[in-house]
Amino acid sequence: MIKRLYCISFFILHFSFFITNNSFAQSAPKPYGALPSDRQLAWHELDMYGLVHFTPTTFENKEWGYGDANPAIFNPTEFDADKIVAAIKAGGLKGMIFVSKHHDGFCLFPSKTTDYNISKSPFRDGKGDMVKEFEQACRKAGLQFGVYCSPWDRNNARYGTYDYVNIYREQLKELYTNYGSLFMSWHDGANGGDGFYGGEKSTRKIDRSVYYGWDTTWAMTRKMQPMANIFSDIGWDVRWVGNESGYANETSWSTFTALPEKGYAIPGPGLSDYSINPIGTRGGTTWVPAECDVPLRKGWFYHPEEKGKVKTAEQLFQLYLKSVGRGANLDLGIAPDTRGLLDDEDVASLSGFGKLVENSFKNNLVKEGVMKASNTRSAPFGVSNLLDADRYSYWATADNITTPELIVTWDKEVEFDLIRLRENIKLGQRIGALEVDAMVDGKWQEVGAATSIGSCRIIPLKMPIKTKQLRLRITESPVCIALSEFGVFKKASL
């Protein structure tokens, strides 16, 4: 009996030593820096969504409505939300934001706050609700739904007074209450100027630093729509990238420290020093990733004279590489025509783009090879996690290993021209620089390099590479790495 107890004690002692000293016992890495919220994680997972502009401005063939359009002109007799949403989905977009009210002040829903709304138009015999039709079409298609309601209203007689701010908040409350869970509440910086305020052509100027009281407005958003990401110029959840051309900076941090222009305590749309928007802030105080917004056409609204000027599938793919491929999300402007449908050119471009992205990234060639890492934290954090399509499983290194290497070896040559990496952003944005080498003629040759990674980094190569061996070198990171994907792909043909 004593001998058996001794053996059990010996086993427990040595097993404890094994657990304490072996890599299997290592815990997960500690988070680094500012971290995304649950709503922001859900936003990152979308990658792309659309922003639909369709108001009386479409029927006026303008980019900005003045606020004086007769509601009777808004009568899209062939409108079909399901067809528009289907085209958006075919483009690979996973969500849609509808412009429920643009600067012209016309509400595309039967708002109780103003007579200048869709109920005064012939659409659906005055009983229509376009926000509802788009919302239902998105739910049916499996797309997320969000809204944009312009704070500037060129039609409302009370704009410029504090009564209007309450009206605007009531409009947001209607949108937050009647259209289900929203993934985004989108706001821009267009504020004040000339308009047709209550039938009077005049100019209204406001002090945008205090007029809207964004802290109060967005506190309401948080309460009523807790999963809605707030987009504005510098963002509470998502920031504007600083251009409307659809691309992020080569180095793009999701962490951000806002620099308001005049010391405003609560920066809002139009109140920021935008100089840091394209790049973000390494080690910033908050997690505020960038959105790259760009219209599919030349402008945000449909214009018949722009026939033949729709961005091609290839042009959209290049924007994808420079937006999603740099850790941002792509927000693509969609513009129905006066029928209430998308032009055939738009539909074809979206479809081609969706297929190009899907086919280019469906076959990760790393899965055909064998990966070996210079260091692995422990078995649960092994390199196999790089291949499971889970954004939050990851390869991690020991705490003191910040510049590891990973080598992939194939039995036969593979050809590729795209490299994709992701970090587990639940642990922060960690890696600051990396290089990729291919074995060419018996020597390592650098074929690609990048700085920030974050939720996604795509490195397009100048020309396709053929090799049997590839090496990833992390060259700068303040802490151990937490990489969730390493893939190489061959771009598909149109």
DSSP letters, 317-379, are HHHHHHTGGGT-EEEEEE---TTSS--HHHHHHHHHHHHHHHHHSS--GGGGSEEEES--S-G
Domain with CATH 3.20.20.80 in the chain: 38-360
For residue 150, what are its two tokens?
Answer: 């312009």
Domain boundaries for CATH 2.60.120.260 within the chain: 365-489
Q: Is residue 366 within 8 Å of 488, Cβ to Cβ?
A: yes
Give the Cβ contact number of residue 72 at 10 Å: 11
CA 492 from centre of chain? 23
Q: Tell me what pLDDT residue 188 has.
A: 86
How many other CB atoms are there within 10 angstroms of residue 363's CB atom?
14
C-alpha–C-alpha distance, residues 272 and 136, integer Å: 36
Distance CA 387, CA 263 (A): 46
Per DSSP, 386 falls in state G
For residue 77, the model assigns a pLDDT of 96
**Which amino acid is located at 477 in the chain?**
S
CATH architecture, domain 365-489: Sandwich (2.60)
Q: What's this model's pTM, rounded to 2 decimal places?
A: 0.93
pLDDT values of the chain reduced to their tens digit, one per residue, 494 residues: 444 444 444 344 343 333 333 334 579 999 999 999 999 999 999 999 999 999 999 999 999 999 999 999 999 999 999 999 999 999 999 999 999 999 999 999 999 999 999 999 999 999 999 999 999 999 999 999 999 999 999 999 999 999 999 999 999 999 999 999 999 999 987 788 999 999 989 999 998 888 999 989 999 999 999 999 999 887 789 999 999 999 999 999 999 887 655 443 445 565 556 678 889 999 999 999 999 999 999 999 999 999 999 999 999 999 999 999 999 999 999 999 999 999 999 999 999 999 999 999 999 999 999 999 999 999 999 999 999 999 999 999 999 999 999 999 999 999 999 999 999 999 999 999 999 999 999 999 999 999 999 999 999 999 999 999 999 999 999 999 999 999 999 999 98
Position 272 scores a pLDDT of: 56
CATH fold of 38-360 reads TIM Barrel (3.20.20)
Q: Please tell me the number of Cα atoms within 13 Å of 367 on its side-chain side.
A: 10
Sequence letter at residue 382 = G
pLDDT at 15: 38
Per-residue confidence (pLDDT) for residue 274, from 0 to 100: 67
* Coil/strand/helix, residue 141: helix
**By C-alpha distance, which of 145, 127, 128, 126 is closest to 84?**
145
